[in-house]
Amino acid sequence: MANGPVRVRFCPSPTGNPHVGLVRTALFNWAFARHHGGTLVFRIEDTDAARDSEESYNQLLDSLRWLGLDWDEGPEVGGPHAPYRQSQRMDIYADVAKKLQDAGHAYDCFCTAVELEARRDAARAAGKPSGYDGTCRNLSAERIERYRAEGRPAIVRFRMPDGPITFTDLVRGELTFTQDNVPDFGIVRANGAPLYTLVNPVDDALMEITHVLRGEDLLSSTPRQIALYKALMELGIAKSVPQFGHLPYVMGEGNKKLSKRDPESSLNLYRERGFLPEGLLNYLSLLGWSLSEDRDIFSMEEMVAAFDITGVNANPARFDLKKCEHINATHLRELDVKDFIEACGPWLKAPHAPWRPEAFDRAAFEEIAPHAQTRLTVLSDITANVDFLFLDQPVEDEASWAKAMKGEPVALLTTARAKLADTDWNAEALKNAVLAAGEEHGLKLGKAQAPVRVAVTGRTVGLPLFESLEVLGRDRTLSRIDAALAKLAA
Ligand code: GLU
């Protein structure tokens, strides 16, 4: 597919928090670069001082690092086309805009917003194309002089060439845009600030980008960028026009486009819930692509080896949180226990953990961890699953208490306590003790263990009970049953 080395780019604007759509774009560019042994350029499109923020910039870097998506040129790593922040490249854009204007590819447009709007309304009313009508395309030298003398502000507008623009999208196949759909467009504001329409293709050209892979929402800017590229080639600024591939929309609840504002689109949410980077990336790679029909779970190495941009599906992809969770849970189970224990680290301390820091017992945690590993969906679930080991008293959960302490809990707990006081302390013996206590009261194991579980852990659901008791130890188990009996007697 590629003639010569592949160079792709990920070029977000630092506004707001990183979201799922952005990460999917970064992932597909990364996988494409790695598959082809090419270069991933990370560029920051921070030309909108009113919306960009340093906080968002730092978050972008931190998020990519957390996900393990590394870049070859860009912030922190540098590269031959530095700087990689557009706010530091303003003189380059001014220079290119001037060259475009000198060569006749762009012109000063003096139309005011009010004039533009009035003409647009009239065109619409007459059923004509409502884009820029070319009023300032061929102004006479005198007219331009007069406008300047009047102090009329002017933007710089790019002159679209005549005729339709056709290109082959790597995802969607051949696409044609007619001239009516692509009118002349602004590239520099009246105050001299260059616009996305200019800076994005100019940097792609200067950074020798070979493939532009980005979201479908940017499809309408592609014919303009191709025209601008051709002008840049004439000026010797661009070498060739890159190939384009537009990734499908991601749909959320109710089949509406997943928006940045939807809570499930925020990357931070997944981080805070304790998704594994490899689990989240695995799921995001399925938003438009698949490794094979029968395999949803794979590693990033496998994705890189198999990734083919022409295999991306052009149809909208549906974001399915349940599936995302399932894939993450599967990756959690596949970790070495050692790595799982390591990954739980942040959730075993403040602010996540409710116990006193000195109450945490690493050996006890390592003993229970294998039982937790097969049950968690996300790492943050670990805290509630093991808190019974480190809290002085089990959590008080009234709903669990009401559910488990039905029937004759006092009789059952009294018998169970006696048997637990007098048994070997291993999971198997503990199970037999509770089983025998249940039998005395005509209860199956499930019914007999519910009050014991709530007395000891505070909750009706949790890790396997007898393994939990084994780790908790005899003294604490018995004293918690005593406390429950006292509460039942009160
Ligand atoms: N800065 C643009 C954005 O975040 C990049 C678009 C592109 O990939 O061309 O939407």
Q: The tokens 């006193």 sit on which residue?
A: 356
161 CA distance to ligand 1 middle (Å): 24
- How far is C-alpha 84 from the chain's CA centre? 22
230 CA distance to ligand 1 middle (Å): 20
Q: The tokens 């060569």 sit on which residue?
A: 103
Question: Which of 99, 239, 260, 403 is flagged as catalytic?
Answer: 260
Mean pLDDT of 241-265: 92
State yes or no: pLDDT of 263 exceeds 90: no
Straight-line distance from the first to the last Cα atom of the chain, in angstroms, rounded to the nearest whole number: 77
State yes or no: pLDDT of 30 exceeds 50: yes
* Closest C-alpha residue for ligand 1 atom 4: 12
Closest CA to 251 of 325, 315, 162, 184: 315
Class of domain 89-247: alpha beta
State yes or no: pLDDT of 134 exceeds 60: yes
Q: Does the bond joining 194 to the residue before it have cis omega, within 30 degrees of 0?
A: no
> Using a 6 Å cutoff on CB, does residue 12 contact ligand 1?
yes
> Using a 6 Å cutoff on CB, does residue 387 contact ligand 1?
no
Mean pLDDT of 85-114: 98
Q: How many CB atoms lie within 10 A of CB 115?
A: 11
Rounded CA gap, 135 and 108, in Å? 11
278 CA distance to ligand 1 middle (Å): 25
Fold annotation for 398-489: Arc Repressor Mutant, subunit A (1.10.10)
DSSP state of 395: -
State yes or no: pLDDT of 1 exceeds 70: no
State yes or no: pLDDT of 143 exceeds 60: yes
Mean pLDDT of 183-195: 97
**Backbone torsions φ then ψ of 320, nearest 5 degrees:** -125, 100
> Using a 6 Å cutoff on CB, does residue 200 contact ligand 1?
yes
Mean pLDDT of 401-417: 97
Mean pLDDT of 58-79: 98
- Residues 203-247 have pLDDT tens digits of 999 999 999 999 999 999 999 999 999 999 999 999 999 999 999
- pTM of the predicted protein model: 0.94
Mean pLDDT of 446-455: 97
Select from 28, 30, 200 the residue to mutate for testing ligand 1; criterion: most ligand atoms less than 8 Å from CB: 200
Q: What is the pLDDT of residue 280?
A: 98
Mean pLDDT of the chain: 96
Closest CA to 234 of 99, 137, 109: 99
453 CA distance to ligand 1 middle (Å): 53
Closest CA to 281 of 257, 255, 263, 307: 307
- The burial of 418, by beta-carbon neighbours within 10 Å (0-12 exposed, 13-18 middle, 19 or more buried), is given as middle
User: What are the residue ranges spanned by the domains of the chain?
Assistant: 89-247, 336-387, 398-489
Mean pLDDT of 131-158: 96
Instruction: Please state whether 151 falls in left (phi above 0), alpha (psi between -120 and 50) or beta.
Output: left
Q: What is the pLDDT of residue 262?
A: 87
* Closest C-alpha residue for ligand 1 atom 8: 214
Tokens coding 135:
């009023």
Q: What is the pLDDT of residue 306?
A: 98
pLDDT band at 379 (very low <50, low <70, confident <90, very high): very high
State yes or no: pLDDT of 476 exceeds 70: yes
Mean pLDDT of 134-148: 96
SS3 25: helix
State yes or no: pLDDT of 101 exceeds 60: yes
- The single-letter code of the amino acid at 392 is D
State yes or no: pLDDT of 130 exceeds 80: yes
Ligand 1 atom closest to the CA of 221, numbered from 1: 9
Q: Is there a contact between 108 and 140 (Cβ–Cβ < 8 Å)?
A: no
Ligand 1 atom closest to the CA of 200, numbered from 1: 9
Q: How many CB atoms lie within 10 A of CB 121?
A: 11
Q: What is the DSSP string of 452-478?
A: HHHHHHSSSS-S-HHHHHHHH-HHHHH
- Residues 293-318 have pLDDT tens digits of 999 999 999 999 999 999 999 999 99
44 CA distance to ligand 1 middle (Å): 9
> Using a 6 Å cutoff on CB, does residue 219 contact ligand 1?
no
pLDDT band at 67 (very low <50, low <70, confident <90, very high): very high
Is position 128 annotated as part of the catalytic site? Answer: no
Mean pLDDT of 420-426: 98
State yes or no: pLDDT of 2 exceeds 50: no
339 CA distance to ligand 1 middle (Å): 36
What length does the chain have? 490
Instruction: Please state whether 16 falls in left (phi above 0), alpha (psi between -120 and 50) or beta.
Output: left
SS3 166: strand
* Long-range contacts from 269-274, C-beta under 8 angstroms, 24+ separation: 271/63, 271/66, 272/380, 273/378, 273/379, 273/380, 274/343, 274/346, 274/347, 274/378, 274/379, 274/380, 274/381, 274/382
Rounded CA gap, 244 and 241, in Å? 9
Q: How far is CA 350 from CA 217, 369, 437, in A?
A: 41, 19, 39
Q: What is the pLDDT of residue 255?
A: 87
Select from 56, 218, 219, 224 the residue to mutate for testing ligand 1; criterion: most ligand atoms less than 8 Å from CB: 218
